[in-house]
Amino acid sequence: MGEVRFGQAINLALDESLKNDPSVVVFGEDIARPGGPFGVTRGLLEKYGELRVRDTPISEATIVSAAVGAAMSGLKPVVEIMFMDFITIAMDGLVNQAAKARFMFGGQCSVPMVLRTPHGGGVNAGPQHSQCLEAWFAHVPGLKVVIPSNSGDAYGLLKAAIADPDPVIFVENKALYAVKGQMDDDAPALEIGKAHIARPGADVTVVSYGAAVNTALRAADTLAQSGIELEVIDLRSIQPWDEATVLASLSRTHRLIVLHEAVTAFGVGAEIAARMADVGFDELDAPIVRVGAPFMPVPFAASLEPQYLPDADDLIAAVHKVLA
Amino acid sequence: MTSNSRERLLGLFERMLLVRECELKLAELFSDGEVPGFIHLSVGQEAVAIGVMDALNDSDTIASNHRGHGHAIAKGVDLDSFFLEVMGKEEGICGGRGGSMHVADMSVGMLGANGIVGAGIPLAVGSALAHQVQQNNNIAVAFFGDGALAEGVLHESFNIASLWKLPILFVCENNGWSEFSPTSLQFVAEVRDLGKAFKIPFRQVDGNNITAVADASDEIVSDMRKNGGPRVLECMTKRVHGHYEGDQQKYRDADELASLGDYDPIMLCEGELRKMKAADKDITAIRNRIENRVSAAADVGRAGTLPSFDRLLSDVYTPVQEA
Amino acid sequence: MPQISDLVMPKLGLTMTEGTISEWVVSPGDSFSSGDLVLVVETDKIANEIEAPADGTLHDVIVQVGETVPVGTVLARWDVGTAGTPEPVPVATPPSGPVAVNSGATSDVLDAKPASAISVDGARVIATPLARRIAGLEGVDLHKVSGTGPKGRIKAEDVRKAKQAAPVATERAIPIEHATSGTRLTPTTYQASVAKRLTEAKRDTPHFYLSTEADVGALLDIRKQLNAANADLRVSINHLILAAVGRTLADMPAANRIWSNGEIVQYETADVGIAVTTDAGLFAPVVRDIGASGLGHVATSAREIVSRARDGSLRPEDMQGGATTVSNAGMYDVTYMGSIISPGQSSILGVGSIRKTFRPDDNGLPVLCQEMGLVLSCDHRIFDGVGGLAFLNALKDYLETPFRLLA
């Protein structure tokens, strides 16, 4: 298949899932006739009809809760929340219903639904269209949170998410939609909860996910010129996350940085740092450092947003800190 | 008055009585400290659960609310499992994980009571969507009180159900109270007008009259199976107990409380049965049967084992072998 | 929001391991600006004025005046910046390294990282978890490891280096008879410091000694002629010896090396220390780059630094570097003087008094000669016996054919 854009890879995974499993349905705001705000669901309505591919009204709470009810009644809904910021309106469906149904009903049912949603800044979308809120969902027992960094992973992970019996929040960084990446013709579904070593290196482990993995890889290229080798781990999913792979890497490099676009405070990096400080304590030869966004809403102005977003330079500074 | 209709009413009477006896038994167990947490009883509203459910098949689905014992029992949840659950026992229908507000039984299409007001409504919308996609001619029912009328998801759900012509019956059990406040002080619209606004056929019945509820439900559900689309059924009823057990209801007028007996659906039904010349011994036999059944279920509940913490983590996510 | 940061005992030289607080110029609660004098730290060598690395307010003082603590020890805490100034960059950390020193210094001082965060009384060792684990496995005592990480933190690499450098033999405790009579005097900071440094130097540096005599008749003549020709020159015998050592070092780079933390450091310039006795004690300031200098320059530089040693105005960098020192006891009556190598150097030349003696000439007839006893103490990690002899003999050649020093 060769080079495929991130958005196209998601479209392909949806297409194949609709084709292979009649219980899969896709719905969300403007995803059917208009093909989605980023064109990700283009063509699915024409192929699979309006019974299974539907535009919804602008009713996020009901979109998500209806997906839960449908999943409890035999469907595998894949719903879209147009921007992750809008998920605030749909929290009950996710947190009180989807996440808890299996547990509080004593294992009688699973909730095989996927919620796709774009996060991230970089397009001057402002404070209510740019947030990375994934840590909220990773904090809720019962939800899974998957965040791909490239086309091939997006395809493999979305197929896995749709096949998964539990509710999965599938987060797509909107800055990635147009990015091309390699994708094999017969790419298999990937295992949720298994990290990928995106670049091996001996000196410092950098754990990341989503678009920030690419930031880490750029920093790694720069640092390699001065003889510093980063090991970049792409978590692929943050709930569950691959503790074993991170610990094994830390045991090789003895230095750990967690990089994400989300606000640093109380974020995914905090959990990883705390866990590794516990299980990996005797491997540490430097403090664990987090690199993320400052504690503020995402600013809009073209001159401000780049300063807000963590970049390769921020990571390089952190690398020098842990190597001091 | 055919003997058929008398037999039917005797059946409805017996099922209402089952719900009533369960609720009263739970009130007793609760005050004895044998039910943990808190419970919301549907005493006085039995005709709605029994009347609507009389029109449903096992494969139809319902989403209930915090006052959901009647819905669960009416939909066919096993009585022993129900008591075990509400009493927090390992053998409960949900393994003691949910309790009163989360009784569910997927095998009879009971998608769960709910601790969040209004939250069951969009779940039922999703279930109706599944029926529509699967084209199985089943319907979904959302039970909610008038307190949920002010929740946003109700309005979204009415809209989507109408837009997509979903097979969903919205049942509003209007008991006039939104928790501790009169709904008249909380909500300005009429359910009738909401139905009209969202272009959903609406019907209002006396929710304490079991025959009225059952007949209306039969007609509505048959019509839905034939013609598709959503319906709204408003059942005017009375809440006899407090919002939850232990609520002294000091916010309610004494005269109102004193008059509640006049609306008791079971008493009204019994009067109807006597008018239909039902035999005293038949009614007494029903009373005895139900009392014994409920008493036995409560004993099973008491004898249940306390749940073990060990297995809990394995049910947060679907275990791999089941996946 | 102000950020609280640590102020640590700075490392003010390659060999500094501890320092004494002699004055807190700023009190808790006082604000200061970058560059303001904050405290004075006394080392065995010199008093150092320590400047604030940035604007801030002194929060609390942990180490009081008169206390001696290892390099890297937290001396005080201070609020960095002023209220309402947030950290602009998320990964930025407040300054936490050693404070700046008030004068221009060698790169060693500017880059100084606190060497160790342990105190002699067995207080907390600051080490990474991995360093602790390795130390445990390898049997390395972290109290004896110098940390090169931030705030003197011991890292895994430091433990590995210490392990390589450490002698295999285990120390055996030797019972010491403690004096039971006599009056007990508390040593001054300076005395305690000298005692500690020299004990360490003698214990940790494997010394060996080579001695010979140099015939300095020609050297005395040439000195007389030089000073007669130019009264301002005032060349001393010691200046000539310094020049000879400088030339020898320039000729023999292998002698211009020191052993440092398991590594060999090759110096590029011929810097030579001069042992100077003053009222405040013994100092060894260094005369710079005299491998090819004229005698006039050597004399001027030496005079200048000795006078600063005597009037107490030596700067920390005056003590830095140099692989060797000249310790001249010629003004007293001594034939041979075997000296302890200064910490951080690899040799020291002990110079005795000039004595007249008869030596047989080529025909066996007695000739009156003027001779000076030389003892070269060598660090065996840098010199082997042959290397030490080569150095001493080359030096002797310069002293006996002093016209070469004029070239």
Interface mutation vs chain B, best among A91, A103, A168, most B CBs within 10 Å: A103
What's the CA gap between B25 and B71, in Å, rounded?
17
Say whether both A167 and A215 belong to one domain.
Answer: no
Say whether both A292 and A269 belong to one domain.
Answer: yes
**With bands split at pLDDT 50, 70 and 90, how would you rate the model's confidence at C84?**
very low
**With bands split at pLDDT 50, 70 and 90, how would you rate the model's confidence at C226?**
confident
CA A313 to chain C, closest CA, distance in angstroms equals 10
CATH number at residue A250: 3.40.50.920
Is the pLDDT reported for residue B211 higher than 80? yes
Answer with the residue of higher pLDDT: B168 or C172: B168
CB contact under 8 A, B123 and A67: no
CA A265 to chain C, closest CA, distance in angstroms equals 10
What's the CA gap between C147 and C264, in Å, rounded?
18
CB contact under 8 A, B316 and A103: yes
- Average per-residue pLDDT in chain B? 95
- pLDDT score at C40: 86
Q: Which two tokens stand for residue A228?
A: 């510093």
Identify whether the C-beta of residue A166 lies closer than 8 Å to the C-beta of residue A24. Answer: no
User: For residue A117, what are the CA distances in angstroms to A157, A183, B19?
Assistant: 14, 21, 44
- pLDDT score at C165: 82
**Position B315 in a domain:** no
Structural domain range at position B116: 3-146+162-200+212-302
**Position B16 in a domain:** yes
Identify whether the C-beta of residue C12 lies closer than 8 Å to the C-beta of residue C51. Answer: no
CATH number at residue B170: 3.40.50.970
C3-110 CATH choice from 1.10.630.10, 2.40.50.100, 3.30.530.20, 3.30.70.20: 2.40.50.100
Q: Which residue of chain A has the CA closest to B128? A: A70
The backbone torsions φ and ψ at residue C167, rounded to the nearest 5 degrees and listed phi first, read -65, 150
pLDDT > 70: percent of chain B: 98
pLDDT, tens digit, 9 for 90 and up, residues C249-263: 999 999 999 998 888
Of the listed ranges A239-248, B62-71, C123-132, the one predicted with least confidence = C123-132
Residue corresponding to tokens 């002629």: C225
**With bands split at pLDDT 50, 70 and 90, how would you rate the model's confidence at C48?**
confident
Q: Which residue of chain A has the CA closest to B113? A: A105
Is the pLDDT reported for residue C45 higher than 80? no
pLDDT, tens digit, 9 for 90 and up, residues C341-360: 988 899 999 999 999 989 88
Q: Which of C90, C128, C132 sits opposite A286 (nearest CB)?
A: C128
CB contact under 8 A, B318 and A97: no
CB contact under 8 A, A165 and B131: no
- Domain end (from A183, A205, A227): A183
- pLDDT score at C177: 57
Candidates A136, A316, A149; CA nearest to A223 is A316
Question: Quick one: which H or E segment has residue A215?
Answer: helix A212-224
Cα dihedral across residues C151, C155, C158, C163: positive or negative: positive
**Position B207 in a domain:** no
Of the listed ranges A26-30, B152-156, C168-172, C327-331, the one predicted with least confidence = C168-172
Plot region of C228 (φ>0 → left; ψ -120 to 50 → alpha; else → beta): alpha
CA A323 to chain C, closest CA, distance in angstroms equals 8
**Position B153 in a domain:** no
> In DSSP terms, which residues pair with C18 in a beta bridge?
C70
Q: DSSP class of residue C154?
A: B
Q: Per mean pLDDT, which of B47-51, B246-250, C236-240 is the most reliable?
A: B47-51
Q: Is A285 on the interface with C (CB under 8 A)?
A: yes
b/e burial code for range A8-40 (CB count within 10 A of at least 16 → b): bbbbbbbbbbbeeeebbbbbbbebbeebbbbeb
Q: Report the DSSP pairing between strands A168-173 and A114-119.
A: parallel
Is the pLDDT reported for residue C281 higher than 80? no
- pLDDT score at C332: 87
Identify whether the C-beta of residue C227 lies closer than 8 Å to the C-beta of residue C366. Answer: no
Is the pLDDT reported for residue C71 higher than 90? no
Q: Which of A285, A310, A314 sits opposite C130 (nearest CB)?
A: A285
Neighbours of A190 (CB within 10 A): 22
Answer with the residue of higher pLDDT: A57 or C225: A57
Q: Which of A284, A318, A321 sits opposite C130 (nearest CB)?
A: A284
b/e burial code for range B189-218 (CB count within 10 A of at least 16 → b): eebeebbeebebbbebbbbbbbbbbbebbe
Q: Which of B98, B121, B130 sits opposite A70 (nearest CB)?
A: B130
Chain C environment of A324 (Cβ under 8 Å) = 149-150
User: For residue A19, what are the CA distances in angstroms to A43, A163, A188, C263?
Assistant: 13, 13, 16, 68
**Position A203 in a domain:** yes
Q: Which two tokens stand for residue B188?
A: 């300005």
- pLDDT score at B2: 63
**Position A189 in a domain:** no
Classify residue B8 as exposed, middle or buried by CB count within 10 Å of its CB (0-12, 13-18, 19+). Answer: middle
CA B153 to chain A, closest CA, distance in angstroms equals 6
Q: Chains C vs A: touching, with 3+ CB pairs under 8 Å? A: yes
Q: How far apart are the first and last CA of chain A?
A: 45
What's the CA gap between C287 and C300, in Å, rounded?
10
pLDDT, tens digit, 9 for 90 and up, residues B95-110: 999 999 999 999 999 9
Neighbours of C332 (CB within 10 A): 9
Interface mutation vs chain C, best among A285, A291, A296, most C CBs within 10 Å: A285
Q: Is C132 on the interface with A (CB under 8 A)?
A: yes
b/e burial code for range C131-144 (CB count within 10 A of at least 16 → b): bbbbbeeeebebee
Chain C environment of A291 (Cβ under 8 Å) = 90-91
Answer with the residue of higher pLDDT: C131 or C168: C131
CATH number at residue A64: 3.40.50.970
List chain A pLDDT tens, one digit each, 324 residues: 689 999 999 999 999 999 999 999 999 999 999 999 999 999 999 999 999 999 999 999 999 999 999 999 999 999 999 999 999 999 999 999 999 999 999 999 999 999 999 999 999 999 999 999 999 999 999 999 999 999 999 999 999 999 999 999 999 999 999 999 999 877 788 999 999 999 999 999 999 999 999 999 999 999 999 999 999 999 999 999 999 999 999 999 999 999 999 999 999 999 999 999 999 998 999 999 999 999 999 999 999 999 999 999 999 999 999 999
What's the CA gap between A282 and C386, in Å, rounded?
47
CA A251 to chain C, closest CA, distance in angstroms equals 10
B183-209: average pLDDT = 97
What's the CA gap between C289 and C314, in Å, rounded?
18
pLDDT, tens digit, 9 for 90 and up, residues C171-193: 454 555 566 678 888 777 777 77
Is the pLDDT reported for residue C119 higher than 60? no
DSSP E strands, C71-162: 74-80
| SS3 of residue C113 by DSSP | coil
Say whether both A176 and A237 belong to one domain.
Answer: no
Active site residues of A: 60, 129
Structural domain range at position A63: 2-183
Is the pLDDT reported for residue C329 higher than 70? yes
Say whether both A251 and A174 belong to one domain.
Answer: no
pLDDT > 70: percent of chain C: 84
Say whether both A27 and A158 belong to one domain.
Answer: yes
> In DSSP terms, which residues pair with A232 in a beta bridge?
A199, A206
Q: Domain residue spans in chain C?
A: 3-110, 200-406
Q: Which two tokens stand for residue C211?
A: 């001695």
Q: Which two tokens stand for residue A32?
A: 């059917």
CA C72 to chain A, closest CA, distance in angstroms equals 15
- pLDDT score at C123: 60
Identify whether the C-beta of residue B111 lies closer than 8 Å to the C-beta of residue B63. Answer: yes
Q: Is C155 on the interface with A (CB under 8 A)?
A: yes
Say whether both A9 and A86 belong to one domain.
Answer: yes
- Domain end (from A183, A216, A242): A183
| SS3 of residue A247 by DSSP | helix
Question: Quick one: which H or E segment has residue A306?
Answer: helix A305-308
Q: Is C149 on the interface with A (CB under 8 A)?
A: yes
Question: Quick one: which H or E segment has residue B316?
Answer: none
Indicate the length of chain A as a whole number: 324
**Position B205 in a domain:** no
Identify whether the C-beta of residue A154 lies closer than 8 Å to the C-beta of residue A13. Answer: yes
Of the listed ranges A217-226, A260-269, B167-176, C152-161, the one predicted with least confidence = C152-161
pLDDT, tens digit, 9 for 90 and up, residues B13-62: 999 999 999 999 999 999 999 999 989 999 999 999 999 999 999 999 99
CB contact under 8 A, B102 and A104: yes
Q: Rounded to the nearest 5 degrees, what angle is found at the Cα of C37, between the Cα atoms of C34 and C43?
A: 125
CB contact under 8 A, A317 and C155: no
Q: Which of B92, B127, B160 sits opposite A73 (nearest CB)?
A: B127
Q: Which two tokens stand for residue A15?
A: 């297409």
Chain B, residues 102-141, CB within 8 A of chain A, namely 102, 104-107, 111-112, 114-116, 119, 121-134, 140
Say whether both A122 and A211 belong to one domain.
Answer: no
- pLDDT score at C171: 47
Is the pLDDT reported for residue C11 higher than 80? no
Q: Which residue of chain C has the CA closest to A312? A: C91
**With bands split at pLDDT 50, 70 and 90, how would you rate the model's confidence at C2?**
low
Residue corresponding to tokens 């030797």: C174
Find the radius of gyration of the CA atoms of chain C: 24
What's the CA gap between B266 and B149, in Å, rounded?
27
Classify residue C253 as exposed, middle or buried by CB count within 10 Å of its CB (0-12, 13-18, 19+). Answer: middle
**Position A276 in a domain:** yes
Identify whether the C-beta of residue C358 lies closer than 8 Å to the C-beta of residue C368. Answer: yes
- Helix locations, C79-166, DSSP H: 107-110, 129-138, 156-165
Q: Which residues contact C310 (CB under 8 A, 6 or more apart)?
A: C276, C278, C279
CB contact under 8 A, B92 and A97: no
- pLDDT score at C183: 80
Q: Chains C vs B: touching, with 3+ CB pairs under 8 Å? A: no
CB contact under 8 A, C90 and A294: yes
Q: Which two tokens stand for residue B47?
A: 């005709």
What's the CA gap between C218 and B294, in Å, rounded?
126
- Domain end (from A183, A218, A245): A183
- pLDDT score at A223: 97
Residue corresponding to tokens 């989605």: A36
Of the listed ranges B182-191, B250-259, C45-54, C363-372, the one predicted with least confidence = C45-54
Is the pLDDT reported for residue C305 higher than 80? yes
Candidates B69, B76, B81, B82; CA nearest to B40 is B69
Domain count, chain B: 1
Q: Which residue of chain A has the CA closest to B124? A: A69
C200-406 CATH choice from 3.30.559.10, 3.90.79.10, 3.30.450.40, 3.30.1120.10: 3.30.559.10
Domain count, chain A: 2
CB contact under 8 A, A73 and B104: no
- pLDDT score at C100: 39
